[in-house]
Amino acid sequence: MTANRVGEPVVSARDLSIHYVSRDALSYHKAISGVSFDLAPGEVLGVVGESGSGKSTLALTIAAQAGRGTAGSGTAEICGGSLRVGNTDIRRLTRRRRDRLTLSTGYLSQGAAVSLNPQLTVSENVAEPIFLRDRRFNQREAMTAVATLIDSVQLPLSVLDSLPHELSSGQRQRVALARALILEPTLLVADEPTRGIDATVRSGVIDVLRELQRERGFSALIVSSDLDVISTVADRVAVLDRGLLIGIGPIDTVFTDPQHPYLRSLAAVHDQRRRQSGAA
């Protein structure tokens, strides 16, 4: 990402609409409709919503992963409004600028932990983005950066030579997080960072994420259907419902006097959790 001026939003969406184009280019499916928000430097924005509300679509578009559609599926495309990430206009992204942007935005996809290369060791998996950026990067320096990050995600250095299948789901997710952060991005986009992780270690992954964010000061957009995750990690929450942004703000403000039925149901869950944790 090209550096943005001090204080300017890291992400700026204005009336943003995104649709999927079918492979034969004959049909469209609107996934995001007229969404506007800013993400400030160093801010963590949580995105919640029901399944199919457009969370992943928004995340992958911001992370400049849209257009890298998997075989057989449609391709996400901005069809209205604008989206800026740093100084880059995502709507007018050339392939070259996209490659540059993806190197400077950490993207933790929904399946990141299971998509680690099974043939590479942990250290090779984490170091890979460094060598994709610069084939001739100093090996020793890369290994030092990898070891530092593995330590920061609170894994023992003994995992460096392990293969992904030798780790637990929570450990794999920490490795995936280390990989997403190895190039020291100014923006991290994490899609359901705790999905598929054992409930007992879920909060550990979130704590590590929050700690690293505080330490390094990157901005983050965290998608989660788990309100506990969002209230732990996010400064503000954005609520999506069928592609529409129905609320955005600090979590308590968004859930104060909610008018929309989905916001009301989330507010009830939030309230109940708060009372439970207060009573605990």
Residues near ligand ATP, by CB under 6 A: 20, 29, 31, 49, 51-57, 69, 73-74, 225
Give the nearer residue to ligand ATP in terms of CB position, either 53 or 194: 53
Give the nearer residue to ligand ATP in terms of CB position, either 34 or 41: 34
Give the nearer residue to ligand ATP in terms of CB position, either 55 or 124: 55
Residue nearest to ligand ATP (CB): 74
Q: Taking the complex as a whole, how short is the minimal distance between the CB of residue 190 and ligand ATP, in angstroms?
A: 13
DSSP string, 147-215: HHHHHHTT--GGGGGS-GGGS-HHHHHHHHHHHHHTT--SEEEEESTTTTS-HHHHHHHHHHHHHHHHH
Q: Taking the complex as a whole, how short is the minimal distance between the CB of residue 159 and ligand ATP, in angstroms?
A: 29
Give the nearer residue to ligand ATP in terms of CB position, either 110 or 123: 110
Residues contacting residue 5 through CB under 8 Å, at least 6 positions apart? none
Question: Taking a C-beta distance cutoff of 8 angstroms, is the pair 233, 46 a contact?
Answer: yes
Side by side, the strands of the sheet bearing 11-21 are 28-39, 11-21, 75-85, 88-89
Q: Taking the complex as a whole, how short is the minimal distance between the CB of residue 223 and ligand ATP, in angstroms?
A: 7
Give the nearer residue to ligand ATP in terms of CB position, either 53 or 231: 53
Q: Taking the complex as a whole, how short is the minimal distance between the CB of residue 268 and ligand ATP, in angstroms?
A: 20
DSSP state of 4: P
Q: Taking the complex as a whole, how short is the minimal distance between the CB of residue 51 and ligand ATP, in angstroms?
A: 3
Give the nearer residue to ligand ATP in terms of CB position, either 22 or 139: 22
Separation of alpha carbons 190 and 57, rounded Å: 12
Separation of alpha carbons 1 and 102, rounded Å: 8
Say how far residue 215 (Cα) sits from the centre of its chain: 18
Residue 22 falls in which region: left (phi positive, over 0), alpha (psi -120 to 50) or beta:
beta
Q: Taking the complex as a whole, how short is the minimal distance between the CB of residue 219 and ligand ATP, in angstroms?
A: 20
